[in-house]
Amino acid sequence: GAGVSQSPSNKVTEKGKDVELRCDPISGHTALYWYRQSLGQGLEFLIYFQGNSAPDKSGLPSDRFSAERTGGSVSTLTIQRTQQEDSAVYLCASSPQTGANEQFFGPGTRLTVL
Amino acid sequence: AQTVTQSQPEMSVQEAETVTLSCTYDTSESDYYLFWYKQPPSRQMILVIRQEAYKQQNATENRFSVNFQKAAKSFSLKISDSQLGDAAMYFCAYRSAIGTASKLTFGTGTRLQVTL
């Protein structure tokens, strides 16, 4: 079946503008994760959704970042008043359940803040 | 908090040769999972191999195998018979097996070059 999809693939915005990044997980996957990959760095956890439980927001770097997951499927990561340091690749992943199951990653959205 | 360290920013291997990528981690937990992910230029993260900490036997997947040393908190990846398609960034990752804390903690990655 289809893998995790993300849109847009690339986004260029001006400092101070808001952006929305979208993630469509694999159908039936109950867990959804957002990670950020800055240039030359590993992936940094941002937020995690599992079913109907309250999301784990412990990785969000500031209150300018928020995410929601509607209907237990599609997720949107919103960054308000973007800053240049927000420039990175934002990766979404989903998995069937918690535990040892593999996280399946999307191709990411490259965000550039001018 | 758990940390993952990859001390080799770049490695190079000749085609058909064997290369080992290093990874160490720090945790106070006894039950966890370890992963190696590959990231080619397409940015798509691909799972290479997975190891459950409670298993003593090292995981293998075709040309890929790990050397898991739990006491030393070491988890190296060996790639045998290297191929041009193996060129990519490789990330080591840790995941707790406790509760619902299932986020992945990644190292900073090793860029692998494969030469003819």
Task: Assess whether pLDDT exceeds 70 at residue B99.
Answer: no
Task: Assess whether pLDDT exceeds 60 at residue A98.
Answer: no
CB contact under 8 A, B104 and A105: no
- HSE, side-chain direction, 13 A CA sphere, residue A45: 24
Instruction: Label residue A108 left, alpha or beta by phi (over 0 means left) and psi (-120 to 50 means alpha).
Output: left
- Tell me the pLDDT band of A42, cut-offs 50, 70 and 90: confident
Contact residues on chain B for A45, CB-CB shorter than 8 A? 103-105
Average pLDDT over residues A7-12: 97
H, E, C per residue of B22-77: CCEEECCCCCEEEEEEEECCCCCCEEEEEEECCCCCCCEECCEEEEEECCCCEEEE
Compute how many other C-beta atoms are within 10 angstroms of the C-beta atom of residue B19. 20
Contact residues on chain A for B45, CB-CB shorter than 8 A? 43, 91, 93, 105
- Measured between CA atoms, how close is B100 to chain A, in angstroms? 7
Render pLDDT for A11-26 as a digit per residue (tens, 0 to 9).
999 999 999 999 999 9
Whole-number pLDDT of residue B11: 97
Whole-number pLDDT of residue A101: 72
Average pLDDT over residues A105-109: 95
Contact residues on chain B for A91, CB-CB shorter than 8 A? 43, 45
Average pLDDT over residues B41-46: 90
- Measured between CA atoms, how close is A83 to chain B, in angstroms? 23
Whole-number pLDDT of residue A39: 83
Task: Assess whether pLDDT exceeds 70 at residue B101.
Answer: no
Average pLDDT over residues A71-100: 89
- Tell me the pLDDT band of A102, cut-offs 50, 70 and 90: confident
- Measured between CA atoms, how close is B24 to chain A, in angstroms? 14
Render pLDDT for A58-83 as a digit per residue (tens, 0 to 9).
999 999 999 999 887 899 999 999 99
Task: Assess whether pLDDT exceeds 80 at residue A34.
Answer: yes
Render pLDDT for B69-96 as a digit per residue (tens, 0 to 9).
999 999 999 999 999 999 999 999 999 8
Compute how many other C-beta atoms are within 10 angstroms of the C-beta atom of residue A23. 26
Contact residues on chain A for B21, CB-CB shorter than 8 A? none
Residues of B57-74 as b/e, b for ≥16 C-beta within 10 angstroms?
eebeeeebbbebeeeebe
A45/B contact by beta carbon, under 8 A: yes
In degrees and rounded to multiples of 5, residue B23 shows phi and psi of: -155, 130
Contact residues on chain A for B102, CB-CB shorter than 8 A? 31, 48, 50, 95, 98-99
Average pLDDT over residues A88-106: 84
- The pLDDT > 70 percentage for chain A reads 96
Whole-number pLDDT of residue A16: 97
- Measured between CA atoms, how close is B83 to chain A, in angstroms? 23
Q: Which of A31, A89, A105 is facing B102, going by the closest CB pair? A: A31
A108/B contact by beta carbon, under 8 A: yes
